[in-house]
Structure formats: C-alpha cells, structure tokens
Amino acid sequence: MYEIGLKNDFKKYYFIGGPSPQPLNKFIETAKNVVSPDSQLGLGLRNEDGIVYKKEWFTMDETIKHLGFKHEYSFEEGIKLTAEWIKSTGI
C-alpha cells in the first residue's frame, strides 16, 4: 500500500495479497491462530452473497508489473511481525 501511495499514475484498483490466492476465511483463520488461537470466529453465520469468484481475478501479476513490488513475507509471517510490534509498543 505504501508503494501505491508513491505512484502518481494510479490504476483503478490493485490486488493486494500473496502469490497463492486463498478464500478470505483462510486469512482470517491464519490471523486468529497467530494472534489468539483460543478465540472463536463467527465464520459461516452470514449467508453466501451468490457471487461466483474466479481465481484468476486475484492474481498479483498486474500489481507487480505496475509497482515493481513483490512481497517479502508470507501472510503468517507478516501477522506475527505485526502482532509482535503491537505488543512491543503497548497499543
């Protein structure tokens, strides 16, 4: 997102994610397991939205091409580092 802010020639949208698209619930479960493994999630309580999502919609190819940016950390590593930073700052 920092790299996007540096650009003056914004695209309409950017996909921000990793090299392996996953359903949102997988990212939420990963974050929960890193930060608070004993917490309960309310996943599945809301009805499906009816939209059929296609994996090719979630590629980072254009984002990498346009920004020249590739991630350095896995999602789980980023969550761990963020959680450690939050704990160290007392937020």
Across the chain, which has 91 residues, the per-10-residue mean pLDDT values are 70 69 85 92 86 80 77 86 90 75
- Res 9: pLDDT: 65
Q: What is the pLDDT of residues 65-87, one digit of tens each?
A: 877 777 788 888 988 999 999 88
Q: What is the pLDDT of residue 16?
A: 67
Closest among 4, 5, 7 to 15, alpha carbons compared: 4
Check residue 84 and give its pLDDT: 92
Residue 50 backbone zone (phi > 0: left; psi -120 to 50: alpha; other: beta) = left
